[in-house]
Structure 1
Amino acid sequence: MLISAAALPAVLELVAPSPATVIGPPAGPLIDHAAPPRSPQQADLRAPAAPTVDIRRSGDPANRITLVLLGDGYTAEQQGMFREQADRAWRALMEIEPFRSYQDFFNIRRVDVVSPAAGIAEGETDGRAVGTPLGMHFWCEGTARLLCADESATARFAGESNGPQYLIALANSSEYGGAGGTGVTTLAGGSPDAGRIIQHEIGHTVGELGDEYDSAPDDADYPNLSTLNADQMRQNKVKWWRWLDAQSPDGGGQIGAYRSANGLYRPTEDSVMRTLGGAYNLPSREAIIEQIYRRVRPMDPPTPAPGAVAGRTRLTVHPLQLTGPRQLRVEWTVDGIPVEPQATDRTWLDTGLLPLAPGHRVTVRATVTDTTDWVRDEAFRDEFMTRTVTWTVGG
């Protein structure tokens, strides 16, 4: 987990470490630190329940990632403002690849937490109780732009989930700041840069990416940071060696090994993990997709359930949908021989139309694969991005 904190217009030398990530100014460098942020003592403002709204449901939460948006410092009269800011935040996230193409892999849920007073703690709290339900406050660990929340309180308001979920807490503040890579991703909901902040912070939280700017800690454990140059990566087949020399869509030129002032190499000259408002470079894009597929299968349960099926019936698979022209590939075989399904989208096969002899049973398989060229690790594709279901039909 990282901390990125701001330069205002000059770079601030920040020394206190912390494993959250604070965003710097829109066009300036970001500065990292490192030591777990401690929330001031939380006032007991627990409500028996807070209204919950599924504002976007792409599918069963058991096979989707749920992004839970919660607000802190919004009074009952300000809930409309919170809803508008929350809506802008998740929509900004879905404007950047790969989240744009994979947006149907996510459900969006909003929790309307009512605060007794407007705003959050924006000054140094010195350990005093924070008087909002989620305990959000700036100056976490003495860093002005580091925006922290009480993680246990936030999780309590978010509630249980039937599948993977990430918590995103919006503070009722127009100050510039946020945090990512911890149990709760935070941002100032009223900041003009809130949309760009969440695009960067979610890179830490979902993709487990590191900061690429010069003042980031020299921690090369992240998939987009390395101590090795391009030749060493090729020789050892590590890090983003598969992407070397490819043209990246982030405006950073060819994928290579670009040294930062902290001694580490990054894949491109620039990206959203270095400067707000950019795009993810290809190694980072691949890392995000891989983390999504570690939590979500490429298809929902088929109809009927796999196994022996009585009679001759229609078999249907339910691949997850991508936004855009490309969709997941569906392939069918009967006793190992490829067949063309009747469905134009290839999602179903009517076994009643198969030329089977009376009493004869066959094995039908359907395989769903994400063939995106944004992933070059074929072993990962085979293990996580491909699923096969099998039925025995006929008789």
Structure 2
Amino acid sequence: MRIIFIALTISLSTLCFGQKFKVDTVYQSGPVESRINFVILPDGYTSQELGKFTEDVQKFITTFIATAPFKQYKHYFNFFAIEVPSEESGANHPGTATDVSEPAHPVLKTNNYFSSTFDYYQIHRLLLATDVAKVYQVSADNFPMYDHVIIIVNSEYYGGSGGDYSTASTHPYSSEVTLHELGHSFGRLADEYYAGDFYAQEKVNMTKETDPEKVKWKNWIGTDGVGVYQHCCGESSALWYRPHQNCKMRTLNAPFCPVCTQALVERIHTLAPTLESYTPKENTIEAGLDSLVFSVNNIPVEPNTISVAWEVNGTKVAFGQDTLVVFPDLFEIGTNKVVALVEDTTNMVRVDDHASLHLNKVEWIVQKSHIGKYDISSSAQRFSAKIYPNPAFDKLNILIESEGEKNISMIVSDASGQKVLRKAMKQEKAWTVDISSWAKGAYFVTFYSGNTALGVRKVVVE
């Protein structure tokens, strides 16, 4: 059975005041600073029904960690549920949709917390939490380091939406719907059915290019059914092409196609760098040493696709292990260098020059004296930035984790490209920006090391 999904780009509304709610740690694989943090919100659950919300959350997480590529990268995610009770149960259904014979299910007016409703834009299955400001304010007030928001609406009827956050009902297909909507809101993917001219645009998995040698997914052509398939039907659909005939971005219970899987893995790599920590940082070891031990700690992938290559003074000495034991006679008197190169070699990614895009590198300098004393210093080539809350209202927090990158600066530009802020980060790791005077809208924060761009983050100011 094929069920069509609806995607929606959400626009922000007015600001609401903060309120504290109970936050449950539902699934935690590691520190919030180094993981992708999902917040799950309930709508249409009364205080007596929050136990059901917990069960519904667990059902989704069970599906999430069983679905590729999240299955392989489950250790990169944390999930937190915020218990927000509604005055009344369910989702609004005004019965005003024009794409079905209404009422498709019973008309209902209910007092739920985030104002979730069916029939948005007169599309029956378009279920949206319409009080967008409340969604983000509750998330920011109760778990400010969130990366993405999911809303579960307590309604047995089929519906959902994707945009800046993901929404789905508790229909039996809800977990599948939520995964599809995450493809939009987390993976920035297009539908692989034709949703209409309003939604048609160049994306990772949607294009007007027809040449297999030039199409953006050219590295996947001929693998697992990937090709260049014309969209159908109506409006300008004949101008647009998709990479696959059976993808989760098109139908329920299908896997993500290779092109969409790659995009999701790259999104994971961007938000949570593989290298988490390393030892030693600095050390001085006196004479009489039997060996020196160097190690890296990486966020695991299942099955393991993390490659660690070790070099000592430019010579490759080991591969595929997280720890290197070096005996003193390998070190020369004077300056020595130990290097660990960390890369995810997953076959789910065929991105040109992928190694340079997501390579993590640790370098130790070992000074060996004539009396056998060792002075060890270290540096790492890695960079990550968390910006929260997002959307932001009056203040924006920026948390930098960077080693090996010097002269870090950032430039904030609005949607027109006009620069609104330039900041040299110097030695700062955390910074709060007063944005109370900024106009509402989308902004882009670009981080630089010297003149080299390290990455771009989008933030919405409300």
Match of 1:174 in 2: 156
User: Residue by residue, what CA displacement relative to the aligned partner does 1:276-308 show, whole Å, maximum 9, x if unpaired?
Assistant: 110111111111111111211111021233xx5
Q: Which has the higher strand share?
A: 2
Whether 2:311 is the aligned partner of 1:340: answer no
- What is aligned with 1:90? 61
* Counterpart selection for 1:78 from 40, 49, 56: 49
SS at match of 1:81: helix
Matched, 1:134 2:114: yes
Q: Segments of 4+ in structure 1 off by > 6 A?
A: none
Contact 1:356 1:394 in 2 (8 A): no
Identity, % of aligned positions: 25
Q: Match of 1:153, SS?
A: helix
Q: Distance in 1 between matches of 2:172 and 2:165?
A: 21
Cα deviations by residue, 1:78-128 (Å, 9 ceiling, x for unpaired): 1110000011112212222111111111111111112222223232599xx
What does residue 221 of structure 2 align with?
Answer: 244
Deviation digits for residues 294-350 of structure 1, max 9, x if unmatched? 211111021233xx54226422211110123x3301111111111137xxx711223
RMSD over equivalenced CA pairs, Å: 2.8
The alpha-carbon deviation at position 368 of structure 1 amounts to 0.8
Cα gap change, 1:350 to 1:36, in 2 (>3 Å): closer
The residue correspondences of 1:1-395 to structure 2 (distance < 5 A) are 27-30=1-4, 48-123=19-94, 131-149=111-129, 150-159=131-140, 163=145, 165-180=147-162, 182-188=163-169, 190-217=170-197, 219-229=200-210, 232-234=211-213, 237-246=214-223, 248=224, 254-261=225-232, 262-263=237-238, 264-305=240-281, 309-311=283-285, 313-324=292-303, 326-340=304-318, 346-351=321-326, 353-356=327-330, 359-384=333-358, 386-395=359-368
Q: Distance in 2 between matches of 1:47 and 1:347?
A: 44
Displacement of 1:381: 3.4
Please, what TM-score do these two structures have when normalized by structure 1? 0.80
Distance in 1 (alpha carbons) for counterparts of 2:308 and 2:145: 25
What stretches of structure 2 of length at least 5 have no aligned partner?
Answer: 98-108, 286-290, 369-462
| SS of residue paired to 2:271 | coil
Q: Give the whole-Å Cα distance in 1 for the aligned partners of 2:79 and 2:363.
A: 32
Number of residue pairs the alignment of both structures matches: 345
TM-score in terms of structure 2 length: 0.69
CA–CA distance in structure 2, aligned partners of residues 390 and 282 of structure 1: 34
CA displacement, residues 127-170 of structure 1 (integer Å, 9 cap, x when unaligned): xx973222222222222211112222112222365756110011
* Alpha carbons 1:130, 1:136 under 8 Å: kept: no
**Structure 1 283/358 Cα, relative in aligned 2: closer, same or farther at 3 Å?**
closer
Task: Decide whether the 8 Å contact of 1:104 with 1:322 is kept in 2.
Answer: yes
CA contact (8 A) 1:168 1:184 kept: yes
Distance 2:363 2:9 in 1: 50
Which structure 1 segments of 5+ residues have no match?
1-26, 249-253
Structure 2 Cα separation of the partners of residues 154 and 139 of structure 1: 19
Evaluate the alpha carbon distance shift between residue 31 and residue 186 of structure 1 in structure 2; reply closer, same or farther with a 3 A threshold.
closer
